[in-house]
Structure 1
Amino acid sequence: MALSVILITKNESRNIAACLKSVAFADEWIVVDSQSGDGTAETARAMGAQVITTTDWPGFGKQKNRALDAAQGRWVLSLDADERVSPELAERIRQVVARDGPAAGYELSRISRFCGQWMRHGDWYPDRVTRLFRRGTARFTDDLVHERLEVQGRVERLPGDLLHDTMPSLDDALDKMNRYSGGRALDKVRAGKRGSLFAALTHGWWAFMRCYVFKRGFLDGRLGLVLAIYQAEGTYYRYLKMALLARQAGKSIEPI
């Protein structure tokens, strides 16, 4: 078996079919589902995927490692349910798998859609993510959110875009901000980091400047400004939640 595609899901019925169709060239598809109630698992099975249902939620990193442990291919492609492989990228992936070259992993360029618009500047593009790797050379970190793939060996870059159809509405974006800032704050506190109101304000300000000014987010028009504010807010709340979590844990922190 040459190529396995792995992904984790929770109520992704609006995305799962398009995601799997974009990687129809793979040899197997492993879906680890967190008890979806919207037909996600049934749709994935109908499209030929092996579906593994879990009853607990250990975090993104550990859940993805569960999917990885079930894969049998020489090469593994990790996707999120709201991602699609573009035709150009699909061809490049097929070439890598057929050639079976010496690289251990490959970095992809991800372009994301925010509230209906593809964002081509700012923090979101090119969003480099390592997703294609030789099985046995990589594992995901145990982070609750923003997990990383750690590859043992050389990592190269593939041409072509990974399409990330995320946050179709502002409500989706705000919901994700709340969940991810909380999870990331918990990861940081567990690692011994701490936050404060000052850190929240300064890091939030820098996130806005980096996204909107230094990475030219203004070239994406009005939604470029909205995204920069969104990035700043997410950073602000993450550091504020870190301070509150550390206080609850009895750690010494600066007053809020």
Structure 2
Amino acid sequence: MVLSLAVITYNEEDNIVRLLNSVSDIADEIIVVDSHSTDRTKEICLQDYPKVQFFEKKFNGYGEQKNYALELCSGEWILFLDADEVPDNDLKKAIQHVISQQNPEYSVYRAKYNNHLGIHLIKFGGWGNVCKERLFRKGSAKYSDDKVHEFLITNEKPGFLEGKINHYTYKNIHHHVTKINRYSDMMAEKMFERGKKINRFKIIINPVFVFIKVFIFKMGFLDGFPGFYIAKTMSYYTFLKYIKLYEKIRMIELEQKYGNFL
């Protein structure tokens, strides 16, 4: 059966080569949907990888972008990966075994993760037991329309694949903080659209709770200083998304109260 790899990209020149080198031997076609990158992502994909079909689409949210990529896939099976994810050899063999069967047991399969922060493999803090749906029959699943933190929607019971996906999260602290800022923007917008309310007490307390949950209850401290860094930045992300939501709500309230006087 034909296997399509789907991936969405934006300025992924540092990651895309590693991914495409890894999967070119198992994917029959590679669908890349790019959000008008300003680096060499497009050049790399079109110049060095003949299986790649490269499309450009304005980014309106992760869910919409991923569903657009799904529509472009022609294979009976779809492997959906992020640009910073790489399947190990055991996972690639498991994928090939599934798609070679006439009637595999499942239509949706999940894979376990190795999450890396720089040179560190993170085993705790909620990062060590991640498992996501990544392989599925075309038409058996789609992504939610969420701008951020989208998820796969399916009525199928998932199976599990042997092997793991190596997830290389952030190049450096600057890259990480930039993504936190962008994700918190989208998350605040998502919460606002859903009518979520926020008060100052939650803005103060929730980030503290997140740090304690990740570092203590989920044993992030066992990862040492990288575990502390993860707990601290997750707390910071929580603070940002709530303070941005609060700002958005307050601005609208003030506009309604004072109108053109602002």
Structure 1 unmatched runs, 5+: 252-256
* TM-superposed deviation, 1:203: 2.1
SS at match of 2:142: strand
Contact preservation (8 Å) 2:109, 2:161: yes
> Deviation per CA, 1:227-250, whole angstroms, max 9, x where unpaired?
111111111211221222223344
Contact preservation (8 Å) 1:2, 1:27: yes
Identity of aligned residues (%): 34
Residue 254 (structure 1) aligns with:
none
* TM-superposed deviation, 1:102: 3.4
Aligned: 1:142 with 2:145:
yes
Give the whole-Å Cα distance in 2 for the aligned partners of 1:138 and 1:243.
35
> Deviation per CA, 1:93-115, whole angstroms, max 9, x where unpaired?
11111124131211221222223
TM-score (norm 1): 0.92
Structure 2 unmatched runs, 5+: 255-262
Give the whole-Å Cα distance in 1 for the aligned partners of 2:212 and 2:229.
13
Aligned: 1:32 with 2:33:
yes
Residue 117 (structure 1) aligns with:
120
* TM-superposed deviation, 1:213: 1.2
Give the whole-Å Cα distance in 1 for the aligned partners of 2:199 and 2:92.
45
Q: Residue type of the partner of 2:138?
A: R
Residue 104 (structure 1) aligns with:
107
Aligned: 1:177 with 2:177:
no
Larger Rg: 2
> Deviation per CA, 1:40-72, whole angstroms, max 9, x where unpaired?
112112212000122x22111101111100001
Give the whole-Å Cα distance in 2 for the aligned partners of 1:222 and 1:120.
13
Residue 18 (structure 2) aligns with:
18
Give the whole-Å Cα distance in 2 for the aligned partners of 1:158 and 1:202.
39
> Deviation per CA, 1:185-234, whole angstroms, max 9, x where unpaired?
11111112122222123221221122111111111111111111111111
Residue 260 (structure 2) aligns with:
none
Contact preservation (8 Å) 2:118, 2:168: no
Give the whole-Å Cα distance in 2 for the aligned partners of 1:152 and 1:6.
21
* TM-superposed deviation, 1:176: 0.9
Give the whole-Å Cα distance in 1 for the aligned partners of 2:106 and 2:114.
24
Aligned length: 250
SS at match of 2:36: coil
Contact preservation (8 Å) 1:116, 1:168: no
Q: Residue type of the partner of 2:97?
A: Q
Give the whole-Å Cα distance in 2 for the aligned partners of 1:108 and 1:199.
35
SS at match of 1:142: coil
Two-structure CA RMSD over aligned residues (Å): 1.6
